[in-house]
Amino acid sequence: MRQLPHETSVPQLPPKMNGSKTPSAPPADEITKEIRKLSFDDKPSTNKDTKPQDQPSATLPLPQDFTVKYLGCRDAGGLWGIKHTRKPVDEMVAKAKEMKPGETLPFLKLTVSDKGVNISEMPQNVNKAFEGGFYNIDVISYGVQDLVYTRVFAMIVVREEAATSLKTHHPFQCHAFVCDSRHNARKLTFALAQAFQQFSKEVKGNKSVKRPKKFAIDLRSPEEIEVDLKEADSEA
C-alpha cells in the first residue's frame, strides 16, 4: 500500500479546480438523487478510463477550502487502512439514501491547513446535525478517497477523551464527506497529505515539540486500491 507518512514527499496536484469556490445550495431532492447515484456517477469502469485530472501534478497551496456534504461519523475499527473506513462509509451512504423528501445532508465548508481540518457550515445550510469545529492535525490518523463511492472522502479521527476513558468512548471515529466531484475528493486527499508533510517539517525543526502520533494518507486511486485488494484476496 502506498501511504504517506510524515517523512514522505507529497505528490503534486494541478490547481485546475478551485476547491474553495462556493456553489449555491442544491435543492433537497437533488441532494438525495446525488447520494443515490454515488456508486457510479464519477467512477470510471477501468483504470484506462481514469481522467488525467485525477492524477496530481502541482503543489497545492494551503489552506484549501472545500464545499462538502457531511455524511456523518461512525466508530472505526482501527487507526489506518481502508478496511476501517469501508464499512462505516457503506453504513452512512445507506442511511443517506433513506432520507425523506425535503431532508438534506449538512452543507459544510471543510478547510485544510497545516494545522489541521476545520469544519464549519455554509450560509445555505439548513441541517444542524453535524460535528463542526477544528480537528488538530495530530488527532487525524488516516485519510482516503473511498473505493466504492469515489466522490466520498473519509478520515479517521482519534478521540482525545478516549485516551482516559476507553470504557465509555470508542477511540477511533470515521468521518465521511461527499465532494462535488471525484476530482475534488482526490484533491482533498492530497491537500491533507500535504498538510501532514508541512506539519512534520515544523515538528522536526522544533525539538521542544512533542513528536506527534503517526498517521497516513492513502494516495492510491480507487481503481488501484480495488486491484490491490483483489490481489491480496487471491494470495490469501
How many beta carbons lie within 10 A of that of residue 180, not counting itself? Answer: 19
Confidence (pLDDT) at 122: 97
Report domain extents, the chain: 28-235
Confidence (pLDDT) at 18: 46
Confidence (pLDDT) at 108: 98
pLDDT string in tens for the chain (236-residue length): 445 444 444 444 434 444 444 445 445 455 556 665 554 455 544 444 445 445 554 578 999 999 999 999 999 988 889 999 999 999 999 999 999 999 999 999 999 999 999 999 999 999 999 988 999 998 999 999 999 999 999 999 998 654 454 455 678 999 999 999 999 999 999 999 999 888 878 777 666 555 545 556 766 676 776 666 566 555 55
CB 117 within 8 A of CB 193: no
Strands 107-113 and 152-158: unpaired
Q: Is 185 exposed, middle or buried (0-12, 13-18, 19+ CB in 10 A)?
A: buried
Q: Is 207 exposed, middle or buried (0-12, 13-18, 19+ CB in 10 A)?
A: exposed
| Class (C level, CATH) for 28-235 | mainly beta
Rounded CA separation 197/213 (Å): 13
Confidence (pLDDT) at 13: 41
